[in-house]
Amino acid sequence: MRRVWRVVFLVPIVLIASAHVGSPDTYFEGTAGPYPIRVIVRNPGVVPGLAQIAVRLLVPHAVRRVLVLPVFWDPKTAAPPPPDIAARVPGDSSLFSAALWLMTGGSYGVQVTVEGDAGTGTVLVPVMALATRRLSLQRPLGITLLALGAFLVVGALSITGAAAREAGLEPGNAPDRRLRMRAHIASTVAAVVIACALIGGRAWWNAVDAAYRGGLYRPFHATASVRANGDTQVLRLVIDDSAWVRMARVWTPLTPDHGHLMHLFLVRDSACDAFAHLHPVPLDSTTFETTVPPLPRGRYRVYADIVHESGLAQTLVAAVSLGPVDSPKVWRAPDADDSWIESTGAGGSSRFQLADGSTMVWERAGGAIVVDQDAPLRFRVTGPAGEGVVLEPYMGMRGHAIITRDDGQVFVHLHPAGTVSMAAFERFARRSSTGSSMPAHSGDSSAVVAFPYAFPQPGHYRIWVQVRHGRVLTGVFDADVHSR
């Protein structure tokens, strides 16, 4: 029974780890000099692979051309090639698209340059090039290649036999028994050589395929546990992956993002009616701990965002059960940026009353939210009289949004600048001479926060929007996303 329960426990983790945890694609909204732009980079899923890049001008400008260039994070690499020119999408004068080869797995910065009537502006968008899947050979192509290979083998054997049999014959003479035997021997030797070459080639191909399979990206394995500490609970997250132990050879160390080495999120399973955004402190290179707020007991999904010095960001996944330990009514957060909320959400409403009495309004446009299309994630915070509330920076941003599907198959942590991390952006900005800076906010007033995103899968989602006004405030909303 213990083994059965262990399997039951691991299945949800495996399912979550294989889904859209973190964002495989990159969404960025900011400025390239005087040009406000939105950039979407679709991860090819294979490395080397072609990434699809879309650049949209958010304010009308007369633009001559848009250039895109991938820059690898390691400054020891060779100089990058000349930039590619993004093509204007027919029927949409504000949208440009291009395809770029990402040749090496790791962290890239896609340099976007806009040339137009307001001059030239450049921004460097951090992008993760990760091999997450293996492309299978399509059956029609496989049959075609097999037929061509058989034709070449038969042709090679025929040419070898003919050369051995007739190369030395005078014109008009017929080959004798000796020449015919020599042709058979030559064809047999050629068949053996070709067979050895095919067997060796197959072994080489299988070795390359196995190496590629072994190199497919997966987040580090992590284990979460909870222990009682008086009237509180302490959550411990241990990164117990063997790759982490070999980090000095494989991964670069962690770097703070928004002032913290780790952003940890707790979401109560299935109902998603309890949520916490915490910032554990490291006890050593593999162990992080934090005090748990007075969340209701139950099973929780654990998501932990980390960023490496290379700019590579990833989300660790685990699960934990919070027990019946009595927690204090007033929770003393170990970090001023920690927060939690227990709420069933806003249902179908676009309004949510925040803890300080103000209201967060989701300014949704008409129409359904559709997979892979820009989502209207724009929120306004108003006071009792409907006046706009001045939002304060929350960890360097106007706000943060955390989105998950009810089954845990999708999870993403968004900023007004998109899915890129501040740490990755700043690293590439220091390397470049573009003068890029991380946008601290988005929206047309201090009471508005907006997030660029497109939902990757259909289903029912819960959205937590976090802002600061005197303290951290969290709005909770629900969204149904439909297929195309």
What confidence tens digit (pLDDT) does each residue in 56-106 have?
999 888 899 999 998 886 666 556 678 999 999 998 889 999 998 888 877
Q: In sequence order, what are the beta bridge partners of 449?
A: 379
Judge whether residue 199 has pLDDT over 90. Answer: yes
What residues contact residue 79 under an 8 Å CB cut-off, 6+ apart?
none
The reply to whether 230 and 207 lie within a common domain is: no
Domain assignment of residue 1, yes or no: no
The reply to whether 302 and 422 lie within a common domain is: yes
């009308």: which residue's tokens? 60
The reply to whether 291 and 415 lie within a common domain is: yes
The reply to whether 401 and 361 lie within a common domain is: yes
What's the whole-number mean pLDDT along residues 30-49? 89
> What integer pLDDT is reported at residue 74 of this predicted model?
66
> What integer pLDDT is reported at residue 179 of this predicted model?
86
Judge whether residue 254 has pLDDT over 70. Answer: yes
> What integer pLDDT is reported at residue 194 of this predicted model?
94
The reply to whether 83 and 199 lie within a common domain is: no
Judge whether residue 237 has pLDDT over 90. Answer: yes
**CA gap 460, 454 in Å, rounded:** 14
The reply to whether 317 and 333 lie within a common domain is: yes
The reply to whether 385 and 255 lie within a common domain is: yes
Domain assignment of residue 347, yes or no: yes
> What integer pLDDT is reported at residue 444 of this predicted model?
45
The reply to whether 455 and 379 lie within a common domain is: yes
> What integer pLDDT is reported at residue 431 of this predicted model?
59
Q: In sequence order, what are the beta bridge partners of 227?
A: 234
Joined together, the tokens standing for residue 118 give 């307001």
Domain assignment of residue 2, yes or no: no
Q: Render pLDDT for 171-198 as a digit per residue (tens, 0 to 9).
A: 888 888 888 899 899 999 999 999 999 9
Domain assignment of residue 64, yes or no: yes
> What integer pLDDT is reported at residue 443 of this predicted model?
43
The reply to whether 195 and 336 lie within a common domain is: no
Domain assignment of residue 443, yes or no: yes
Q: Is the dihedral of CA 353, 355, 356, 362 positive or negative?
A: negative
Domain assignment of residue 356, yes or no: yes
Query: Picking from 5-19, 224-238, 314-328, 411-425, which range would have the lowest pLDDT averaged per residue?
Result: 5-19
Domain assignment of residue 12, yes or no: no
Domain assignment of residue 235, yes or no: yes
Q: Render pLDDT for 120-169 as a digit per residue (tens, 0 to 9).
A: 999 988 888 888 888 888 999 999 999 999 999 999 999 999 998 888 88
Query: Picking from 260-269, 293-302, 330-339, which range would have the lowest pLDDT averaged per residue?
Result: 330-339
Q: Residues 274, 342: contact at Cβ < 8 Å?
A: yes
Joined together, the tokens standing for residue 359 give 């209201």
Judge whether residue 338 has pLDDT over 70. Answer: yes
CATH at 372: 2.60.40.10
The reply to whether 292 and 373 lie within a common domain is: yes
> What integer pLDDT is reported at residue 329 of this predicted model?
54
Query: Picking from 46-55, 86-95, 325-334, which range would have the lowest pLDDT averaged per residue?
Result: 325-334
What residues contact residue 36 under an 8 Å CB cut-off, 6+ apart?
29, 30, 57, 58, 59
User: What percent of the chain clears pLDDT 90, i.e. is strictly above it?
Assistant: 45
Closest CA to 239 of 301, 282, 298, 291: 282
The reply to whether 285 and 370 lie within a common domain is: yes
**What's the chain's average pLDDT?**
84
Q: Render pLDDT for 267-322 as a digit per residue (tens, 0 to 9).
A: 999 789 999 999 999 998 889 999 999 999 999 999 999 988 777 788 999 999 99
Closest CA to 191 of 145, 153, 152, 225: 153
The reply to whether 80 and 183 lie within a common domain is: no
Who has greater pLDDT, 203 or 348? 203
What's the number of domains the chain is made of?
A: 3
> What integer pLDDT is reported at residue 184 of this predicted model?
92
Q: Which domain holds residue 203?
A: 139-167+175-214
